[in-house]
Amino acid sequence: MKIGIIGAGAAGLATAFDLSSNGHKVVVYESAPFIGGQASTIPVGGGPLERGYHHLFTNDSAIIGLMADLGIGDKLKWYPSRVGTYTSGKVYKTTTPLDLLRLSALPFKDRIKLGLFALRVKRIKDWRSLEDQTADYWLREHLGGMAYEKMWAPLLKGKFGEYYDQIGMPWFWSKIQTRFASRQGIRGREVLGYPDGSFDTVFDRLKSVIESQDGEIHLSTPVVRVEVVDGVAKALIVRPEGGDEARNEFDCVLSTVPSFSFPDLVDLPDDYLSRLTGVHYLAAVVVILEMSRPLTNIYWMNIADSDVPFLGLIEQTNMLPKEWYGGSNVLYIANYLDRKDELFKMSRDELVDLYLPHLTKFNPEFNRSWIRAIHYNAVSAAQPIIGTNYSKVIPDHRTPVQRLYLANTTQIYPEDRGTNYSIRMGRELAAMIQDDEKQAWRNWR
């Protein structure tokens, strides 16, 4: 088969790898001038750093397996993580169960409830029993009190904004499962994975292997239309940067674009279209600071305080060597925002001016003179809002157009979107495409 793939992110490249490994001709078109999608990198202090913070959990089996298949399994290293939470005007360590017992921002009985509650959620094996309830409702009913109002409610509101009370409980369940899986030892310390040389190590190797197997990857080449004849996807119309529009025929097509972009490429029936447009996306806005000094000694800082205008601080060099980044201390300031939010419309410098005064809450000595360089990145389709009973309305990978498939973050469920799950989905799509082809051949015979 000859397969056209729209998008050179994790899902698209994982699909291309498996298909080309099985002797199929793959051609990947990417509108950006780089591969990797949301896990792509920029140079920071002379080394590559993801545009948006990335790490792996110990149960991220899809990407761990892919790295092994690519012959780079030894490039994945595991590091101890330190987690903190800012609430009630103070930073608290929240890495281990013992840390929760010491969390004096909560009454002692609520600390006990918080720890036992996490264990209770961990023991739930069937997420389908949670599907008809929102995380906000379920947490209020089963946790409640100060443990919810001071911890989980601010975190939900910080991440999802006005949509916080619409998020289905399976999202929260999956977060707890993932976090517990990465805890090791009797003290429950968390370890996280990161590839030597950044996630470029994975994507550069994918690109190299795909091309060695006669696959093609075209950057700065957006697809403008999927050509459909008699209900069957037949070709892709592409417009390379600085070039003329071209038409290329394929036996089938996989699109990995966001749901709201997909209808721009192809006409779809109303029922399927409503499933695509029924999911709202939040944008991710990230400011990266290169600094002469560390802000804290914590890798992952949750913000459970509505007075702080961002939802998290991820201090890369509190887990990884700062020598990778020219000796700078690297800090992500992270936010998820609705695209109509005023903060999303701000320039990099406006955001920096808004954010920096709040950094003294985490370190009173912080001074703007510590900053060596500033980087900014915004992704318009970063976090889908997944509500209740989503399994009943999730868009099928097989679209109503024959031989046209869709794979994007709205189809990752019940887990939250992530590089690991995009790779898992991509490899599942490769198997699905090949199985469909075998079935079509049997029917034809």
Overall number of domains in the chain: 3
Q: Same structural domain for residues 303 and 368?
A: yes
φ/ψ (deg, to 5) at 388: -75, 155
Q: Is residue 70 part of a domain?
A: no
Domain boundary among 384, 415, 432: 384
pLDDT in the model for residue 384: 93
> Do residues 256 and 69 lie in contact, with contact meaning Cβ atoms separated by under 8 Å?
no
Q: Same structural domain for residues 287 and 377?
A: yes
Q: pLDDT, tens digit, for every residue of 360-379?
A: 999 999 999 999 999 999 98
Handedness of CA 344, 364, 307, 177 (dihedral sign): positive
Q: Cα–chain-centroid distance for residue 409? A: 8
Q: Same structural domain for residues 275 and 398?
A: yes
> Do residues 60 and 67 lie in contact, with contact meaning Cβ atoms separated by under 8 Å?
no
Q: Same structural domain for residues 273 and 221?
A: yes
- Residue 412 region by backbone torsions, left for phi larger than 0, else alpha for psi between -120 and 50, else beta: beta
pLDDT in the model for residue 417: 84
Separation CA 177–CA 171 (nearest Å): 10
> Do residues 313 and 333 lie in contact, with contact meaning Cβ atoms separated by under 8 Å?
yes
Q: Is residue 130 part of a domain?
A: yes
Give which of 410, 19, 16 is closest to 218, Cα–Cα: 16
pLDDT in the model for residue 75: 98
Separation CA 89–CA 169 (nearest Å): 29
Q: Same structural domain for residues 17 and 34?
A: yes
Q: Is residue 63 part of a domain?
A: no
Q: Same structural domain for residues 365 and 379?
A: yes
pLDDT in the model for residue 62: 97
Q: Same structural domain for residues 323 and 258?
A: no
Q: Which CATH number is 251's domain given? A: 3.50.50.60
Q: Same structural domain for residues 284 and 374?
A: yes
Q: Same structural domain for residues 255 and 314?
A: no
> Do residues 91 and 362 lie in contact, with contact meaning Cβ atoms separated by under 8 Å?
yes
Q: Is residue 186 part of a domain?
A: no
Which range of residues forms the domain containing residue 154?
97-177
Domain boundary among 337, 368, 384: 384
**What token pair was written down for 385?**
């809002």
Q: Same structural domain for residues 335 and 357?
A: yes
Q: Same structural domain for residues 284 and 380?
A: yes
- Residue 390 region by backbone torsions, left for phi larger than 0, else alpha for psi between -120 and 50, else beta: alpha
Beta strands in 292-432 (DSSP E): 300-303, 312-315, 329-337, 371-384, 404-406
Q: Same structural domain for residues 392 and 243?
A: yes
CA atoms in the 13 A half-sphere facing the CB of 68: 6
> Do residues 224 and 265 lie in contact, with contact meaning Cβ atoms separated by under 8 Å?
yes
Q: Is residue 215 part of a domain?
A: yes
pLDDT in the model for residue 187: 56
List, for the chain, all residue ranges whose pLDDT scores fall below the cut of 70. Answer: 180-188, 444-445
Q: Is residue 238 part of a domain?
A: yes
Q: Which CATH number is 369's domain given? A: 3.90.660.20
Q: Is residue 45 part of a domain?
A: no
Q: Is residue 236 part of a domain?
A: yes
